[in-house]
Amino acid sequence: VTGEIVSCPHCRTQLEVAGRLRGALLNCTKCGRVVEVPGLRDPLWLLLRLAALALGLSLVWLLEPHWGPWGAAAAGAGTVALLWLLSRAL
Ligand SMILES: [Zn+2]
């Protein structure tokens, strides 16, 4: 399980949290105050990523006749990567 580092907004302590805790609330190990883990809650986050993947694949399928297989694949991969990064930033 890949953890994420979240810094406590109250005392700046770096807290390592499991990736699946995105969007959850937890207590800081140092000051005990509530820290919100940035990110969407798990099912929605997963759905967004699946949607990004579907959008990328449909883009490849749509653009393939015009752009050729490699151009369309690159456009699709770019879209997936962009939406992936966007979903991480949320
Ligand atoms: Zn703290």
CA of 1 to the centre of ligand 1 (A): 23
pLDDT at position 41: 60
Q: Residue 40 has what pLDDT? A: 58
Give me the pLDDT at residue 18, please: 79
**Tens of each residue's pLDDT in the chain, 90 residues:** 567 788 999 999 999 887 666 677 889 999 999 998 876 566 777 788 888 889 888 988 898 888 888 888 898 899 888 887 877 665
pLDDT of residue 90: 57
CA of 81 to the centre of ligand 1 (A): 33
70 C-alpha vs ligand 1 centroid, how far in Å? 49
Residue ranges with CB less than 5 Å from ion ligand 1:
8, 10-11, 13, 28, 30-31
Q: Report which of 60, 88, 75 is spatially closest to residue 4, judged by C-alpha positions.
A: 88
Mention every residue, 6+ apart, whose C-beta is less than 8 A from residue 87: 40, 45, 48, 49, 52
Q: Show the tokens assigned to 27.
A: 């207590």
- How remote is the CA of residue 29 from the centroid of ligand 1, in Å? 7
* pTM score, whole prediction: 0.46
